[in-house]
Amino acid sequence: MLGVVAAAVFVLASCGGGSGSSPAPAGPVATTGTAHHKQTGIAAACSEIPLSRVEALVRSAGGSASGLRRSSGGTVRLTHCAFRAPGVNADLGLDAARRAVTRIFNRVTEYAQFSSTTPALRPLPVEGLGDRGVPGGGANWVPAYDQLLSVRGRRALIATFYVRGASSAQLKRGATGLTRIAYAALGVGRNQGD
């Protein structure tokens, strides 16, 4: 349920962005196997993510990868790739619309502000994953949502990683691994500059 709420928050947050930004265009949702719509972003890269690697991440968090299924879709600028099984939600959302980095910065800032009353909302920086010198940090783990938010270039990637019964540390490791696999599938390198 938390994964569904988090996905809804991601979609709603992605539509904002302040003055001058244009929301992702409304359009048909493409799913894996649909020949009518050309997939882009993480939806197109989803098939390049080895299922065996996602299964290994799930098992390393103490879960069962039995019956793990892949799906993908989205619009031109907001795409997703998901791996689900009973008790497992490994979901990737890629925001490639204008001002994606600003939207992630705003989310990280808001989570930090609300963490005084809800400590699990405090964003925890993840070193060596996102671009350096990005406002709010290049990558942050948010335990309350089992999400890792990261930025590379002008794209923002949100990895939700939930395995029933796993600790926050196990979920963070899984989300970090999933994010690395996604960036490799996307062919997006890390900015080494300050």
What pLDDT digit, counting tens, does each position of 9-68 carry?
Answer: 333 333 333 333 333 333 333 334 443 446 789 999 999 999 999 999 999 999 999 999
- Mean pLDDT computed over 156-170: 97
Q: What percent of the chain is helix, strand and coil (3-state, nearest 5)?
A: 35, 20, 40
- Domain span at residue 154? 2-11+30-186
pTM (two decimals): 0.78
Helix (H) or strand (E) holding 12: helix 2-15
Report if residue 25 sits inside a domain: no
Report if residue 43 sits inside a domain: yes
What lies within 8 Å, CB to CB, of 187 at 6+ separation is none
pLDDT number for residue 54: 98
Report if residue 123 sits inside a domain: yes
Q: What percent of the chain has pLDDT over 90?
A: 60
pLDDT number for residue 39: 73
Report if residue 17 sits inside a domain: no
pLDDT number for residue 190: 62
Q: Which one has a higher pLDDT value, 126 or 76? A: 126
Q: How many domains does the chain have?
A: 1
Report if residue 119 sits inside a domain: yes
Q: Which one has a higher pLDDT value, 177 or 26? A: 177
